[in-house]
């Protein structure tokens, strides 16, 4: 997380809402040889205390889960390069504006019987966003095919101990400079989900 507290004023509820809306992040754990990471969809509880997901069985992280391990899930939102020329003030330097939330906690492998419920909840969370399309459910699959495919993945869960977020919108600049950065980012489109970032910047002026 960025150390400047001006970028870390979002409350716990805001960070949880962001993580729940994205429902996709980078899981990171330490091994003896090297840090291990995996990009995962997940379902986060309403209070932010419990995360559930699944991993491919051959994922190296699964091998570490004979016992619970400490882990981080990093969730990124919109981001953009910010040119100092956009501020309209002198003696500035380039930077990058972004949204990021980190969930820290204890990751565990669950009993295989938990998998279907996790898959059903995760798909339901995503499918309801596609209305009026009729939701896809696991019931649409042939049971034998589903059983075979399910053996290739394992259910995992994380008890979340800490939630922190960085919402970096050039808040250390005057309002006119923030508007300049916002307009420049919108035009340049150098980053990811830039329009999402710009909307948040506009809301925070």
The full DSSP string for 101-136 is EEEEEEEEEPPGGGHHHHHHHHHHHHHGGGTTSPPP
**Given pLDDT bands bounded at 50, 70 and 90, which one contains residue 20?**
very high
Helix, coil or strand: residue 203: helix
Share of the chain above pLDDT 90, in %: 96
| Tens of pLDDT, residues 58-78 | 999 999 999 999 999 999 999
- Residue 2's pLDDT is what? 87
DSSP state of 52: E
- Residue 48's pLDDT is what? 98
Q: How far is CA 138 from the centre of its chain?
A: 24
Burial of 144 (0-12, 13-18, 19+ CB in 10 A): exposed
**Which residues, including other chains, have CB under 8 Å from residue 49's CB and lie 6 or more apart?**
159, 160
**Given pLDDT bands bounded at 50, 70 and 90, which one contains residue 204?**
confident
Q: Which residues of 80-98 are buried (b: 16+ CB within 10 A; e: fewer)?
A: bebbbebbeeeebeebebb
List phi, psi (to 5°) of 21.
Answer: -70, -45
**Given pLDDT bands bounded at 50, 70 and 90, which one contains residue 182?**
very high
- Residue 53's pLDDT is what? 98
List, in order of start, the domains of the chain with CATH numbers.
5-199 (2.30.110.10)
CA distance 68 to 44: 18
Nearest to 1 by CA among 205, 158, 193, 162: 162
**Given pLDDT bands bounded at 50, 70 and 90, which one contains residue 82?**
very high
**Given pLDDT bands bounded at 50, 70 and 90, which one contains residue 192?**
very high
| pLDDT score of 1 more than 80 | no
Residues facing 55 on adjacent strands:
154
- Residue 86's pLDDT is what? 98
Q: Lowest mean pLDDT of 40-44, 48-52, 201-205, name the range.
A: 201-205
Residues facing 19 on adjacent strands:
none
| pLDDT score of 116 more than 90 | yes
- Residue 87's pLDDT is what? 97
- Residue 149's pLDDT is what? 95
CA distance 172 to 187: 22
Dihedral in degrees, nearest 10, Cα atoms 35, 2, 8, 104:
10
| pLDDT score of 22 more than 90 | yes
């Amino acid at each position: 997380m960025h150390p400047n507290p001006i970028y870390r004023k979002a409350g716990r509820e805001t960070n949880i809402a962001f993580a729940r809306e994205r429902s996709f992040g980078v899981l990171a754990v330490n091994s003896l040889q090297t840090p291990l990471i995996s990009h995962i969809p997940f379902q986060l509880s309403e209070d932010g205390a419990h995360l559930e997901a699944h991993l491919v069985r051959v994922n190296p992280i699964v091998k570490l889960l004979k016992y619970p391990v400490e882990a981080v899930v990093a969730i990124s939102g919109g981001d953009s390069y910010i040119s100092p020329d956009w501020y309209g003030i002198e003696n500035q330097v380039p930077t990058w504006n972004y949204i990021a939330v980190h969930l820290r906690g204890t990751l565990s492998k669950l009993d295989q019987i938990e998998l279907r419920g996790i898959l059903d909840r995760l798909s339901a969370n995503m499918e309801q966003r596609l209305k009026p399309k009729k939701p896809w459910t696991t019931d649409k699959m042939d049971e034998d095919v589903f059983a075979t495919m399910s053996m290739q993945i394992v259910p995992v869960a994380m008890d979340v101990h800490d939630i922190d977020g960085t919402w970096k919108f050039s808040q250390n600049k005057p309002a006119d400079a923030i508007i300049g950065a916002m307009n420049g980012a919108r035009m340049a489109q150098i980053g990811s989900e830039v329009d999402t970032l710009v909307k948040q910047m506009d809301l925070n002026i």
